[in-house]
């Protein structure tokens, strides 16, 4: 259990050898869920995008492809994730369309009211206090901008709740909990979708 716990705990903040292994698997392991979530973005044309908890950088790359006129700032508080995401999006960085930074979502040091869209895939489980972190996201979004959250867990599925007991600091949130925290942080027009056959959820809010 010791090695297993050490490995799965790398989902929180990848570090060391196990962290590198975890980040290397993130891009492929969550791709279908991320694409399902991204498909909900149908009526916006963002120019500045913030990808929070970017992991291995795959979703930042997909956002760059989905919005060819946009720039993406990808952030993560794991140094290993930042390195992997920068490597994955090296061409876009060279072209001036992507930037990867080490940031903590509980205390973002980014320009206020800059971004049209913020995304968070498989990451809010580890955010220390949803309302505070959501308020940090709201601070850097333009008025009317969109914040999208995509999770594999709906907060009630047995598999994820088992990991919640193993991984320190992990919390699987329900749609109601996420929506309530978003509204408390100043977001409005919150809407959500639950996958028909999986516990996947997408929650979208406007500032």
Q: What is the pLDDT of residue 28?
A: 57
Q: What is the pLDDT of residue 97?
A: 98
pLDDT digits (tens, 9 = 90+) for 38-64: 999 998 999 999 999 998 999 999 999
Question: CB-based contacts of 25: which residues, under 8 Å, 6+ apart?
Answer: none
Higher local confidence (pLDDT), 135 or 166 = 135
Q: What is the pLDDT of residue 15?
A: 47
Q: What is the pLDDT of residue 203?
A: 98
Has this prediction a pTM greater than 0.85?
yes
pLDDT digits (tens, 9 = 90+) for 14-41: 445 444 455 555 565 578 999 999 999 9
Measure the CA–CA gap between 161 and 153, rounded to whole angstroms: 9
Q: What's the domain count of the chain? A: 1
What's the order of all strands across the beta sheet hosting 188-194?
Answer: 98-102, 71-76, 48-52, 115-121, 141-151, 201-206, 188-194
Higher local confidence (pLDDT), 170 or 70 = 70
Note down the domain range covering 187.
2-206
Measure the CA–CA gap between 115 and 99, rounded to whole angstroms: 13
Q: What is the pLDDT of residue 20?
A: 47
**CA distance between the termini of the chain:** 43
pLDDT digits (tens, 9 = 90+) for 82-134: 998 999 999 999 999 999 999 999 999 999 999 999 999 999 999 999 999 99
Q: What is the pLDDT of residue 25?
A: 54
Higher local confidence (pLDDT), 22 or 7 = 22
Q: Look up the CATH number of the domain holding residue 177.
A: 3.40.50.150
Q: What is the pLDDT of residue 49?
A: 98
């Amino acid at each position: 259990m010791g090695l297993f716990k050490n490995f799965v705990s790398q989902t929180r903040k990848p570090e060391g050898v196990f962290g590198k292994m975890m980040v290397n698997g993130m891009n492929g392991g969550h791709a279908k869920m991320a694409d399902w979530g991204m498909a909900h973005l149908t009526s916006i044309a963002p120019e500045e995008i913030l990808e929070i908890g970017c992991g291995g950088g795959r979703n930042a790359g997909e956002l760059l492809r989905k919005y060819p006129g946009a720039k993406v700032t990808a952030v993560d508080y794991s140094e290993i994730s930042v390195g992997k995401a920068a490597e994955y999006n090296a061409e876009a960085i060279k072209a001036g369309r992507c930037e990867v930074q080490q940031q903590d979502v509980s205390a973002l040091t980014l320009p206020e009211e800059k971004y049209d869209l913020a995304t968070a895939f498989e990451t809010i489980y580890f955010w220390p206090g949803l309302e505070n972190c959501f308020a940090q996201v709201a601070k850097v979004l333009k008025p009317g901008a969109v914040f999208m959250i995509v999770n594999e867990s709906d907060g009630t599925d047995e598999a994820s709740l088992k990991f919640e007991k193993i991984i320190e600091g992990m919390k699987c949130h329900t749609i109601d909990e996420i929506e309530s925290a978003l509204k408390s942080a100043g977001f409005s027009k919150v809407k959500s979708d639950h996958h028909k056959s999986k516990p996947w959820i997408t929650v979208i809010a406007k500032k």
